[in-house]
Amino acid sequence: RGRPYPRPWRGSNRFLSKCAKPGKGQEDFEMRKGRIMEQQKRIVDRLNAEKSRSNGSMNSNIDFSTENRESHGGLTPTDMKKRIQALPDEASDDEMQLATFGFVIYQSLTEVSVNFMVPEDIRPKDVKVEFTTSRMRCTLQGASKPLFDGELYGAIEARESIWELEQTKEGKRLVITLIKNPTGIWDQFEDNNPKSKFNTPQEQVIRRLRSDINFLDNNLQDARNRMIQYGKDLIKRDEQMEEMMLKS
């Protein structure tokens, strides 16, 4: 009683339709009407902006800075990825080493890692590894011949060198770590055996770059997918809000 206009929710179109009458309270009505229309306009502008942003993120390309390109010899990560993918796969080199002389070898400036594939039922007490400063011998209990018995390319610290059994997805491995003395790069693992030649330092750098670029690509793809999903969820939430406002 005594109210110049009804009392529905003030943010709805029903409020506008029932209050659109001249008379007492017209000034208050015009002020509320302006606020509602401005609120609806902001919602529509926000929806359009989110839609254009989500569509743009799906088709956008990553723009790498000039500084990053210069640090990689003028190549973008895409160009580097193409060149690296053209190289032989690292897994094929490991398989070739296993087929050639029965183990896989890696090296750094300070140590050499030797990986032998062993049967699943082998236990630590079945393994015997002997080190000297220039020679290594490795045997398994019950085997007809040793896994390795020969002269090393360089000298090692016999007391610091260790071995262990590791369970991997490919199977059980015997991993032997030899500490170099002095440090440096070995051309090959076994002395007078060209088949045990290591990869060149350039090839090792390229293989590290391959893993780094793959890691970067996976992270960028995950971030892009999260941004697209967030935009879709935001648009869906705003559409539901707009629909509720129109229905009320």
CA gap 20, 18 in Å, rounded: 6
Q: Which CATH architecture has domain 102-199?
A: Sandwich (2.60)
Report whether 234 contacts 35 (CB < 8 A).
no
What's the confidence (pLDDT) of residue 200? 53
Nearest-angstrom CA–CA distance, 122 and 83: 42
pLDDT band at residue 163 using 50, 70 and 90 as cut-offs: very high
Q: DSSP code of 140?
A: E
Average pLDDT, integer, range 31-60: 64
Residue 53 has pLDDT above 80, yes or no: no
- pLDDT recorded at residue 182: 84
Helix (H) or strand (E) holding 138: strand 135-140
What is the tens place of the pLDDT at every residue in 86-135?
Answer: 544 544 455 555 655 567 788 888 888 888 888 888 888 999 999 899 89
- Angle value at C-alpha 6, between 33 and 38, nearest 5 degrees: 15
User: Mean pLDDT over residues 191-214, rounded?
Assistant: 61
More confident residue, 60 or 103: 103
Sign of the torsion angle spanned by Cα atoms 114, 118, 121, 124: negative
Q: How confident is the model at residue 158 (pLDDT cuts 50, 70, 90)?
A: confident
Q: How far apart are CA 208 and CA 90, in angstroms?
A: 10
Res. 210 pLDDT band, cuts 50 70 90: low
Burial class (CB in 10 A: 0-12, 13-18, 19+), 71: exposed
Closest CA to 168 of 91, 80, 55, 82: 91
What average pLDDT does the segment 128-147 reach?
89
Q: What pLDDT is recorded for position 178?
A: 92
Please give the pLDDT value at position 209: 60
Q: What is the pLDDT of residues 27-44, one digit of tens each?
A: 666 777 677 677 667 766
132: amino acid identity, one letter: T
CB atoms within 10 A of CB 17: 10
The better pLDDT of the pair 151, 58 is held by 151
Distances (CA, A) of 70 to 73, 79, 207, 217: 5, 13, 21, 20
Q: What is the mean pLDDT of residues 232-248?
A: 79
For the question of whether the overall pTM of this predicted structure is more than 0.75, the answer is no
Mean pLDDT for the stretch of residues 56-68: 43
Map 42-59 to HEC letters.
Answer: HHHHHHHHHHHHHHHHHH
Mean pLDDT for the stretch of residues 157-175? 87
